[in-house]
Amino acid sequence: MKIALSGGGTGGHAYPALSVAEAIRRVAPDANICYIGTSKGPEAALAARSGLPFLGIPGRSLSRKLSWQTPAALGTLALGLAQAYLALRRTRPDTVLATGGYAAAATVLGAALLGIRIVIQEQNTIPGRTNRWLARFAETVCVTFEESRRFFPIAKVVVTGNPLRAALLEPMPTAEARAALGLDPDRLTVLVLGGSQGARAVNEAVCRAVPLWDGRNYQVLHQTGRRQHEHVLQIAPRRDWYHPQPYLEDMRSAYRASDLVVCRSGSTIAEIAAVGLPSVLIPYPFSFADHQTANARVMAGRQAALLVPESELSGERLASGISQILDNAPKRHAMAQAALSIARPHAAEQIARILLKREAAEPDQAVASGDNA
């Protein structure tokens, strides 16, 4: 069976697609998989690392408001559609999985023109414009949250959760994880994820919070983002228990070493839930339809996270919120259990089986079962 994956421009679109590819290889080792993504996005390198043939097509944001850039954006979309169409006509996949982004739009349109089966995967509570519009061409829409059903044709929706890399789900002793990262085995550990490029407001709040924890048994592993790393090094206080890193490759160890995560509330929250960690979520305030706040509200509403709007973020607020969780072991444990109750760790395999037609896409049964296992 041949399957084409498409989605990109950000890791939030690429990683779910690659997680499904990993699951397809487990379920059907003889399946033929390729990846269609944007030429300049991270998905090219990620697909190569996963051993997937990659086709790069042009992609560009199309604003909802007309401007002098609109003709160029439409031209780029048309070129991308033409390239995706030709690639699909040449390879003739049985199914296309689209995870969002500009490349996914071109690929889905090309697949629709060729009569190829289409499955869409949505990561956020409030879907992006691309996936909402493309759903009309899809046979099945796999969503992460029950709350997303209302945005799509009800008969097409299956609540699967967000697909995750298998390595993230593998257990690992805390002491071993901390040793792998050079951390103190006995300190309560805060993991800060500023994203691959960095979140300036989050980074600066963390730097202001660190001195407020002097004398406490904490340590901080801080992914600053590559673009923000030098700035953080300039403003961060020097403490032997504060560990700023531009990027963390070994996320399995990072999660297993930690007692709490501080991050934005994009697709990362599926990982936090799956590994069962309490979190402090700081939504990116300019996300489409404020979907990151909606994501965070799902976690906070189920007592798995503390939501701190960026407009209310300060070093003092962050330090206090984290301490209230770390210093209260019963609360920390309850939040961890709440996070696990939200998790759907088998999402990648479920989507893989839908793509391979080894699992019926029955929306009502999927929701009625309430199975998070």
> What is the bridge-based pairing of β-strands 260-263 and 54-57?
unpaired
Q: Where are the domains of the chain?
A: 2-164+345-367, 167-342
Q: CATH fold of 2-164+345-367, please?
A: Rossmann fold (3.40.50)
Q: What is the pLDDT of residue 78?
A: 85
CA-nearest of 148, 140, 144, 135 to 163 is: 144
Alpha-carbon gap, residue 149 to 165, rounded angstroms? 24
Distances (CA, A) of 60 to 64, 100, 101, 320: 13, 13, 9, 41
Instruction: Determine whether 350 is exposed, middle or buried from the number of CB atoms within 10 Å of its CB (0-12, 13-18, 19+).
Output: buried
Reduce the DSSP state of residue 157 to 3 states and report it.
strand
CATH of the domain spanning 167-342: 3.40.50.2000
The alpha carbon dihedral of 345, 350, 351, 356 has a sign of: positive
Q: What is the pLDDT of residue 373?
A: 31
DSSP code for 211: G
> What tens-digit pLDDT sequence spans the chain (373 residues)?
999 999 887 778 899 999 999 999 999 999 999 999 988 888 999 999 999 999 998 865 555 555 556 676 667 778 889 999 999 999 999 999 999 888 899 999 999 999 999 999 999 999 988 889 999 999 999 999 999 999 999 999 999 999 999 999 999 999 999 999 999 999 999 999 976 666 899 999 999 999 999 999 999 999 999 899 999 999 999 999 999 999 999 999 999 999 999 999 988 999 999 999 999 999 999 888 899 999 999 999 999 999 999 999 999 999 999 999 999 999 999 999 999 999 999 999 999 999 999 765 544 443 333 333 3
Question: Any alpha helices (H) in 262-328, and if so which ranges?
Answer: 268-275, 291-301, 315-326
Q: What is the pLDDT of residue 64?
A: 55
Q: What is the pLDDT of residue 10?
A: 78
Q: What is the pLDDT of residue 110?
A: 96
Domains 2-164+345-367 and 167-342 share a fold: yes
Q: What is the pLDDT of residue 77?
A: 78
Rounded to two decimals, the pTM is: 0.86
Alpha-carbon gap, residue 43 to 107, rounded angstroms? 15
Alpha-carbon gap, residue 131 to 141, rounded angstroms? 9
